[in-house]
Amino acid sequence: METLQQLITPFTNAWYQADSHELMSFGIFFGAMWLIAMVIEAAVKKVTKED
């Protein structure tokens, strides 16, 4: 749990320093990454189920 907080701290610092445009870009990027991860996870589950 401590390690997770150490990883998040630089992000939260950058978050407060960033302007709204940067936050929106980061949000869109993060959302896209999450969506890709979900698609990959679903594809892997489908492939492993078929085997």
Question: Which residue is associated with the tokens 């998040």?
Answer: 8
Structure tokens at 11: 């992000």
Contacts of 27 (CB under 8 A, 6+ apart): none
Give me the pLDDT at residue 7, please.
78
- Helix (H) / strand (E) element for 1: namely none
Give me the pLDDT at residue 41, please.
96
Give me the pLDDT at residue 38, please.
97
pTM score of the predicted model: 0.51
User: What does DSSP assign to residue 35?
Assistant: H
Over the stretch 1-51, which tens digit does the pLDDT of each residue have?
688 788 788 877 876 777 777 778 888 999 999 999 999 999 999 999 876
